Amino acid sequence: MAPYEAVFDTSMSTIPLTTTGAELLRQELHRLKTVERPNAITAIAEARTHGDLSENAEYDAAKNAQSFIEGRIKEVEAKLSNAQVIDPKRLDAEGRCVFGATVDLEESKAGESVTYQIVGDDEADLKKGKISISSPIARALIGKYAGDEVEVQTPGGVRKYEVLEVRYE
């Protein structure tokens, strides 16, 4: 491999996923292959029956949908093949914040408590208390223990938190 190719070679990189995140991706892949792909093929076939393909908007839309679905299938397959699946219940990080851990925090200034689970980028959903491993708060938490204080740079300024508890569930 030429040296410049190594910069673009992502085949060796792993994508951290919790067991739940990996299962959700498997379900999405199954739905894409068994529901979405056949629907797109049917839509293309139906649009072809409407005559001249060069001026057929339905055909163009169906082909675009198929292209999107095929791209997403390849993307999900790549993520699953490069996944490093981590079961938070099996972690033994001796109380440290690590990928998959659920962390109870208290904001120092407001005294508000929050709970976050540190997950992969695809699993992140702030409304469900799941934050991406690449988020500023998760990066600040990694390696911390209960009782530690962390400072997180946010768009609204620096926020300080105290780690109340670290769980692996």
pLDDT tens digit string along 19-38?
999 999 999 999 999 999 99
Fold classification of 89-167 is Chitinase A; domain 3 (3.10.50)
pLDDT for the residue 103: 96
pLDDT in tens, 33-51: 999 999 999 999 998 888 7
State the Cα–Cα distance between residues 37 and 33, nearest whole angstrom: 5
Q: For residues 55 and 154, is the Cβ–Cβ distance under 8 A?
A: no
3-85 CATH, one of 3.10.20.30, 1.10.287.180, 3.30.2350.10, 1.20.120.80: 1.10.287.180
Q: Is the pLDDT of residue 3 over 70?
A: no
pLDDT for the residue 96: 93
Query: Rounded to the nearest 5 degrees, what angle is found at the Cα of 87, between the Cα atoms of 84 and 151?
Result: 85
Residue with tokens 């060069």: 54
User: Residue 61 forms beta bridges with which residues?
Assistant: none
Give domain limits for the chain: 3-85, 89-167
Q: For residues 33 and 77, is the Cβ–Cβ distance under 8 A?
A: no
b/e per residue, 137-147, with b = 16+ CB within 10 A?
bbebbeebeee
State the Cα–Cα distance between residues 89 and 105, nearest whole angstrom: 20
State the Cα–Cα distance between residues 60 and 67, nearest whole angstrom: 10
State the Cα–Cα distance between residues 30 and 44, nearest whole angstrom: 21
Lowest mean pLDDT of 44-53, 57-66, 137-146, name the range.
44-53
Higher pLDDT, 78 or 108: 78
